[in-house]
Every structure is written in structure tokens, then in C-alpha cells.
Amino acid sequence: MYRTEDVLATLGMVRSYKLDVRTVTMGLDLQPCASPDPKVLCDQIRARMIKYAGRLREVCKEVEARYGIPIVNRRLAVSPIASVAAGHSTEGILAVARTLDSVAEEIGVDLVGGFTALVQKGWTESDRRLIEALPEVLSTTQRVCSSVNVGTTAAGINMDAILRLGYILKDAAERTRSHDGFGCAKLVIFGNAPNDNPFMAGAFHGAGEPDCVINIGVSGPGVVKGAVEDLVANSKPTLGEIAEEIKSTAFRVTRVGELIGREVAARLGVPFGIVDLSLAPTPQVGDSVGEILQAMGVKRLGAPGTTAALALLNDAVKKGGSFASSSVGGLSGAFVAVSEDCALADAVERGDLTLAKLEAMTAVCSVGLDMIAVPGDTDAETLAALIADEVAIGVINHKTTAVRVIPVPGKKAGEMAVFGGLFGQTVILPIHAAGGSTEFVRHGGRIPAPLSSLRN
Amino acid sequence: MSTYIVTVTSADRVGIVHAVTGALRDQGGNIIELSQTVMRGYFTIILAVEFEKPQNVEKLRTVIAYQGREFELTVAVIEANPRDVVAPVKGERFILTVLGDDHPGNIHGIAGGLASRGVNIVDLHARTDGPRFSMVMEAFLPSDLSPLELKADLEQFGKGLGLEAFVQHENIFLATSEPGPVRVGQSRMTHPSIEGAAGVSH
């Protein structure tokens, strides 16, 4: 017998607070598809995607109906294509991207990640070709997402790759000028990229993973916000009590994710991988990480206290999630994706939330400077320096950080950039002292791996 | 062994369970399952009791009522006949929740829809809170009935009555309210009142 209150509490998370499974992401190894013949390579990729993911959509619908939990996205994360398509010409790499795009559409997969190169220590010819192909891929495919890992704590930071990516971002933005540079929203530049991240645009199927695996990205900013609001309305909680409330809420959210993931995996006959605990916002009111901070008492996001509140939130989510499941992985933190979070976007528009403050916030949460619009005339070197700063935070602090920045062509700071759908919209942030670090990034080379002792 | 189903109702007072179970013990009965609740100040208990030898139903009823005479109990006793127990619906256990505006006939209409689909309700709680109505049921869905179909049925009934319906496999509630490992696949048990119910000594 179930207590009515327990049933209604779980149901309320879905009904009132927008709890959903943000993504069921199938990780799929494409290395066995490698062939020197580009046509054979593409044919084998298509066959393997259909073999493993052909039923993904159908199974997700079955599981969604069984548990009454919405599954918002079905995605694929494939092996880094720079490795799968090693030795191929640019045309060959582009053919692979087009194959990923068309097969994803054919089998009802929303996005496919893994058009990826891992260049933290250096880059191969294939890595370079893939990176050079990015503007074309990001501007001509619909579902292909890309990532480049440019630094790790073990290897340091590849500044040659970062500088080149500054130019690539400019090119990709220009080619998608009519959509405010939207092509850049499908490219994540990582430090310490996880191998099992289910969230886009940065998902790929990394080394050490099995042939095929189901990873889950839960959502739940609305649920956490609701819990904090109720607590604050009914008592005068200390911050410790707020943290406890967030922990117990994160437990429930994580359990939903693990259940859905295990069920989908069992029905497809593949292993279950991880639940990513990340609180992922959507542009809808009531589904925002920023609103949680506001419920905690930081009414103006960007004010002093924002970073501390975010640190409390991020840590409490991890603690609750880690107790709920032994299969926690991916990014597992709170996202501060500006255009995708209505409260953060509002704070940017009011001028409360600046680029510098966002950068500070990323030191205590995942994933980094995410979905940030900057002026279209920002030079490539400044973009590279922005990336280098953010990646350095991750590399030095042994955590993942990333940059998903959009230089909006033809628009200046203060103007609105509109990406639509889950990508939302945001006012363009100014970059202070832009152009002031050109010589630094032009040195190139590699920032050495940091010391692992003397950690203060 | 002979099994009897005993139900007792009265205004709620301290000591009723003690009186009823004492009467059963004195007659040599062993309680094998019991469920008790208090609703709006009224006590109700239902017990399944085993005896080594057949009992006189009327005598058993009278003994229980006498033992609890200070509580003015309403007692009913029937003999459990294995032929009365039909095979349970083969299927999985789902939690059905209906929420919305209170109207006379809500439960009747919902139960009718479930019966027509062969859904077996094994536990049901419903209540009103002012104009709001909520109903939570545990039910076995026949294996050929999808939760989506049943949800559509219930929503069709609730259309115009301001009722929302939810049909969710029980595992989602186990996952969110128990700290044990997440369970997928089949339900815990097919029918607790028939299979594997442990005896409760008193």
C-alpha cells in the first residue's frame, strides 16, 4: 500500500514542477565502422546507428507511457569522429557529418553528438581536418553537434587549438548570420570533457565505454525551486536546512532518471551507463536554475552571494544524487546556460549579471560559459582568450568547464540574440577590454599541465 | 483449516483492536491478514482468520460483538470459500491517480470504466478537500491493456468534470520513496492476499 501523500508528492514533481527526463542519450561506438573507403565508412555508420538506435524512439515512448514521466529528447552520442574518420579527406569527414544528420532524422533522434576532436595535448591531421570542417558542418546540418576538448588537468591546455577555434567560431557564426550565429550553439569547447556526458551539444562516446550504453540526463530545476520555495514559505530555514531540502529533492529526481535509464536499457538489451544529475534549465518560467537561487534569497542574480548560493545548490544536488544512485556521471552539476534560462537571461538584460560574474560562478558548478552571446565584431583572439580563461578554471580545479559562446554577426552589446526553442534568447554581453590579450593567445603552444600538489 | 473474513465497524475508541483480537484468540483463531483504518472518526477493520475446525458464523459474530460491547460494534463474519477466490488479473501493478473537482458519481464512473477494461483495483483511497477530489488506486492492468489506453479512457470520463488522470507503473513510486536499489521490470507480487501472505500471530 502506498501512502497517498507519497504518490501525490511524486506526481506533483511532474504535474506542477515540470520534472522530466531531459534526455535519453545512447552512447554508441562507431570505431568498428572505420574504412579507407568513405562510402563504406558512411554505409557502415548508417547500418550501425540503425541496428542499435533504430528502436530508441519507440522504446522511449513505451517507457514514457509506463511511468508517466515525459522523455523530452532522444539523442545519440557517437565516438569522436576525428578518430572514426581518421585518414579521410575533408570531403570524407563532411560525408560522415551528413550521414549522421540524415540517419538521426531517419530514426527519430533529436540530436547526434560526437563530431568531436580531442586535442588537449596536440592535434592529428584528422583532428585539424575535423576542426576546419566545423563551420560547414555547423551551418549545413540540423542535428549534428560538435565538441573539441582543448585541455585536461593531465595534459595542460592546447593554445594552438584554442586560437584556431576563435576563428572557427567567427566563421560558423557568419555562415549562420540569419539565425544570430546559431551554428556556434552546436559547438562546445571543453576542458576535462567527460566521456559519458548525455547532454548536448557536448555529448560524445568516449574512450573506455562499451559498444553501446544508455545514459540519462535528468532535469528538475522546477522541482528543486518548488521545494525551496515551500520550505522558505513555511519556515525560516537556515542555509543548512535549505541544502538538506535540495538533497532530498535531488534524490527523488535522480531515482526517476535511473529507473527510466535502466528500463530503456533493458528493453533495448544494452547496458545502462549513468545518470547525469545536472540541473538543466529550459527557457520556460519555472524551469530555471536562476529561479532556484532567487528562491534561496538572491533576488538579483549576479549580486554578491550568487556564487555562494550556486555552490550550495550544486553540492547539495551532488550529495542527494550520489546517495540515490551508484551510477552518477557525466557533468552532474547545475547548468548556467544563459539564453536557456529565463532568470539568468533577465539578469543579463538588467545588467546585473556580467561575463566576469558568470565566469566566477562556473568555478563552483558545471558546465561553464554556456549559451552566451557576445558582440559580432569580437575578434578571434579575444574569443580564444575567453575560451582559455574558462578552460583554465577547469584544468586547474580538476573539473569540467566548457565554453559555448556565440559572436552574433552584425549585433552589438545590449541587443537581443534569438536562437529559439530550447536554446532561448539573451541580450548580448559586452566583453570588457576586448583585444587586450591578443599577444598572449598568439604565443600559441601549450599551457603546461598544472601541479597536483600544493593545492591552495 | 477453515478461514473466515471478519469486518468490524464502530465509532473510533481506544481498545477496539484489543477487544476484537482477544475474542478471536479465545475462540482459537489465528489472524493471517489484517487491515484497519479510521475514516472521519469511524473505525473499520477487516481480518482474515484461520481456525483448525469449522466455526458457527453467527456464534463467532456474537462473541466478537459481546467482547467489544462497550464500543457498540457492528460485526460481520463470512466463511472464506476458495471457490469465491477467482484467479487474479494477470498483469502488472500500476498506480492510478485521479485529481480534480469533486462531483457525486466520480468514483462510480471511474470504477465503471476500469471494470469494463478488466482492471482489478486492489487498493483505493479517495478523499475530498473542500471542492477538490483526489483518488489513488493500486490496480492490476490486464497485459493487453496499455497504460496510455487506460489514461485516455479515464481522461475521456473526466472531460468536462474537471478531472485529470495519471496511470504510472508502481516502480516509479518505489524508486522515489524507498532508498533500496532501483527496480525495473515486473511488479513486486501478483496478489498479496492470495500468494505468500504471512500469518500474523496475536
Q: Considering only alpha carbons, which residue of chain B is nearest residue A6?
A: B177
Mark whether B74 and B99 lie in a shared domain: no
Q: Which uninterrupted H or E stretch holds B153?
A: helix B147-158
Sign of CA dihedral B155, A262, A218, A420: negative
Q: In this model, does residue B188 exceed pLDDT 70?
A: no
Contact with chain A for residue B136, Cβ under 8 A = yes
Residue range A275-289, pLDDT digits in tens: 998 998 888 888 899
What is the model's pLDDT at position A140? 98
Which residue of chain B comes nearest to A320, CA vs CA? B179
Mutate to test the interface with B, among A1, A8, A11, A252 (most CBs of B within 10 A): A11
Structural contact between residues A129 and A115, judged by C-beta atoms closer than 8 angstroms: no
pLDDT at A284: 84
User: Are B167 and A66 in contact, with CB atoms under 8 Å apart?
Assistant: no
Minimal Cα distance from B124: which residue of A? Answer: A1
Chain B residue nearest residue A258, CA to CA: B182
Interface-testing mutation among B93, B166, B184, B193, with chain A (most A C-beta atoms within 10 A): B184
Residue A281's φ and ψ, nearest 5 degrees, are: -80, 165
Number of CB atoms found within 10 A of residue A184's CB: 34
Phi then psi dihedrals of residue A381, to 5 deg: -65, -35
- In the 8-state DSSP scheme, what is residue B30? E
- Rounded alpha-carbon distances, angstroms, from residue B55 to A384, B5, B29, B68: 89, 12, 10, 19
ipTM of the complex model: 0.81
What does the pLDDT read at residue A271?
97
**Secondary structure class of A115 (helix, strand, coil):** strand
Q: Does A2 touch chain B (CB under 8 A)?
A: yes
For residue B190, being part of any structural domain is answered with no
Look up the domain containing B60 and give its range. 2-84
The one-letter amino acid code at A96 reads: V
DSSP per-residue letters across A145-209: EEEEEEEETTTEEEHHHHHHHHHHHHHHHHHTGGGTTGGGGGEEEEES--SS--SSSS----TT-
Under an 8 A CB cutoff, do B138 and A65 touch?
no
Q: Which of B127, B167, B176 sits opposite A255 (nearest CB)?
A: B176
Same domain, B72 and B38: yes
Q: Cβ separation of A2 and B136 shorter than 8 Å?
A: yes
Look at residue B194 and tell me whether its pLDDT is greater than 80.
no
Domain boundary among B51, B84, B117: B84
B191 pLDDT above the threshold of 60: no
Say if A66 is an interface residue toward chain B (CB within 8 Å): yes
Say yes or no: B46 and B97 in one domain. no
Contact status of A16 with chain B (Cβ, < 8 Å)? no
Residue of B133, B176, B186 to mutate when probing chain A, most A C-beta within 10 A: B176
3-class SS of residue A214: strand
- Is the residue at B201 inside a domain? no
B64 with B120, same domain?
Answer: no
pLDDT of residue A162: 98
* CB-CB contact of A107 with A57 (8 Å): yes
Tell me how far apart the alpha carbons of residues A156 and A2 are, in angstroms, rounded to a whole number: 53
Q: Is the dihedral of CA A219, A221, A222, A226 positive or negative?
A: positive
Interchain contact B134–A (C-beta under 8 A)? yes
B39 touching chain A per CB within 8 A: no
| Nearest Cβ partner for A66 among B164, B166, B169 | B169
* Shared-domain flag, residues B108 and B64: no
- The residue to which cell 541580450 is assigned: A427
Q: What is the CATH number of the domain that holds B15?
A: 3.30.70.260
Regarding whether B112 and B68 lie in a shared domain, the answer is: no
CB of B171 less than 8 A from some CB of A: yes
Whether the upstream peptide bond of residue A388 has omega within 30° of 0, thus cis, is no
CA–CA distance, B131 with B102 (Å, rounded to integer): 5
| Residue B189 pLDDT level (bands cut at 50, 70, 90) | very low
* Residue B178: per-residue pLDDT: 81
Instruction: Compute CA B45 distance to the chain's CA centroid, rounded to the nearest angstrom.
Output: 11
Nearest CA in chain A to B168: A67
Q: Looking at the structure, tell me whether residues B32 and B110 fall in a common domain.
A: no
Instruction: Please determine, for residue B192, whether its predicted confidence score (pLDDT) is greater than 50.
Output: no
Cβ contact A4–B136 (<8 Å) = yes
Q: What is the mean pLDDT of residues B101-128?
A: 92
Residues B158 and B121 in one domain: yes
Q: Minimal Cα–Cα distance from A242 to chain B, Å?
A: 20
> What pLDDT shows up at residue A14?
85
Q: Does the distance separating the beta carbons of B170 and A2 come in below 8 Å?
A: yes
Whether residue B185 lies within 8 A of chain A, CB to CB, comes out as yes
Q: Which of A4, A65, A266 sits opposite B184 (nearest CB)?
A: A266
Taking one residue from A and the other from B, the number of pairs with CB-CB distance under 8 angstroms is 76
- Residues whose CB is less than 8 angstroms from the CB of residue B157 and which lie 6 or more positions away in sequence, other chains included: B109, B110, B113, B163, B165
User: Tens digit of pLDDT for each residue in B80-107?
Assistant: 987 777 666 678 899 999 999 999 999 9
Domain annotation covers residue B61:
yes
Same domain, B158 and B120: yes
pLDDT digits (tens), chain A, 456 positions: 678 888 888 888 888 887 889 999 999 999 999 999 999 999 999 999 999 999 999 999 999 999 999 999 999 999 999 999 999 999 999 999 999 999 999 999 999 999 999 999 999 999 999 999 999 999 999 999 999 999 999 999 999 999 999 999 999 999 999 999 999 999 999 999 999 999 999 999 999 999 999 999 988 899 999 999 999 999 999 999 999 999 999 999 999 999 999 999 999 999 999 999 899 888 888 889 999 999 999 999 999 999 999 999 999 999 999 999 999 999 888 899 999 999 999 999 999 999 999 999 999 987 899 999 999 999 999 999 999 999 999 999 999 999 999 999 999 999 999 999 889 999 999 999 999 999 999 999 999 999 988 777
Q: Of B84, B111, B130, which residue is a domain's last?
A: B84
- Give the total number of structural domains in chain B: 2
The reply to whether residue B176 touches residue A11, judged by beta carbons under 8 angstroms, is no
CB contact under 8 A, B173 and A7: yes
Note whether residue B186 is domain-resident. no
In a domain, B127, yes or no: yes
Whether B182 is covered by a domain: the verdict is no
The minimal CB distance from A10 to the residues B138, B151, B176 is found for B176
CB-nearest partner of B148 from A10, A65, A258: A65
**Is residue B147 domain-resident?**
yes
Phi, psi of A227 (to 5 degrees): -65, -45
Q: Does B182 touch chain A (CB under 8 A)?
A: yes
* pTM of the predicted model as reported, rounded to 2 decimal places: 0.89
Q: Which of B84, B103, B131 is the last residue of a domain?
A: B84
Residues B70 and B99 in one domain: no
Q: Is residue B183 part of a domain?
A: no
Same domain, B63 and B130: no
CB contact under 8 A, A10 and B138: no
